[in-house]
Amino acid sequence: MTSLPYVIHVVDDDPAVRDALSLLFETEGFTVGAYANAEEFLQAVSVKKPDCVLLDVHMPGRSGIDILKTLHNEHFPSPIFIISGQGDIPMAVEAIKSGAYDFIEKPFDVDSIIARVREAVASVHSSNASGLAVFPGSETLTPRERQVLQEITAGSSNKEAGRNLKISPRTVEVHRARIMEKLGARNAADLVRIVLTGENPA
């Protein structure tokens, strides 16, 4: 059985960036949808969800962060990468807190983007089929938060989790705090109990 190509949406008001990323991912075998603004993109995802989204921070009208928050409130299932310039790191951290999977800095490293998107899509598909199925609050977690939670429940430290997920230990800490807040856990033991037994902490 042959699997269908992954679908990725590129949302950026700069036609040169849209064209470059579209060509890059089409060459890698992805099906690409390219959008210049929030309205076009949100209309498209209301019909069919892609496997991954690359979303620029700076756009006229609704910013990438605004779009991200809208999708996060709707429990959007696919990983969303925020595209940001080198001066946008605080904004990229805000994006992660708002549900982004990760951020990609300009100028792009082509090999890195391809590898990170493939890893994100594959890991979300595998985590959907993993033991982290349903527990109280599971529907509130982003795909990246589910991955971090998997690492925590496997006993990984922040440093080990960061190495396994190719993100910094600081980013793991941000996700970990968000997960604990969402699930009402006081510590790692609470998290493990919630995930493995389905019980909320007393």
Q: In what order do the strands lie in the sheet with 80-84?
A: 31-35, 7-11, 52-56, 80-84, 102-105
Total structural domains within the chain: 2
Burial class from Cβ neighbours inside 10 Å (0-12, 13-18, 19+) for residue 197 reads exposed
Average pLDDT (16-45) is 94
Residues 143 and 198 in one domain: yes
What CATH number is attached to the domain comprising 170? Answer: 1.10.10.10
Residues 59 and 98 in one domain: yes
DSSP for residue 129: T
Residues 107-158 have pLDDT tens digits of 888 998 999 898 888 877 665 554 555 677 887 888 788 888 888 877 788 8
Give the three-class secondary structure for 106: coil
pLDDT at 37 over 70: yes
Domain with residue 104: its CATH number is 3.40.50.2300
- When mean pLDDT is compared across 17-21, 46-50, 185-189, the lowest value belongs to 185-189
CA–CA gap between residue 58 and residue 162 (Å, rounded)? 27
Predicted TM-score (pTM) of the model is 0.67
pLDDT of residue 31: 95
For residues 40 and 62, give the distance between their C-alpha atoms in angstroms, rounded to a whole number: 12
Tell me the pLDDT tens digit for each residue of 60-112: 888 888 999 888 878 788 899 998 876 677 887 788 888 888 888 888 889 98
Q: How far, in Å, are 6, 76, 116 from residue 58 at the CA level?
A: 26, 21, 21
User: What is the residue range of 167's domain?
Assistant: 131-202
Report whether 169 contacts 197 (CB < 8 A).
no
In a shared domain, residues 190 and 116: no
Q: Taking the chain, what is the end-to-end CA distance rounded to the nearest angstrom?
A: 47
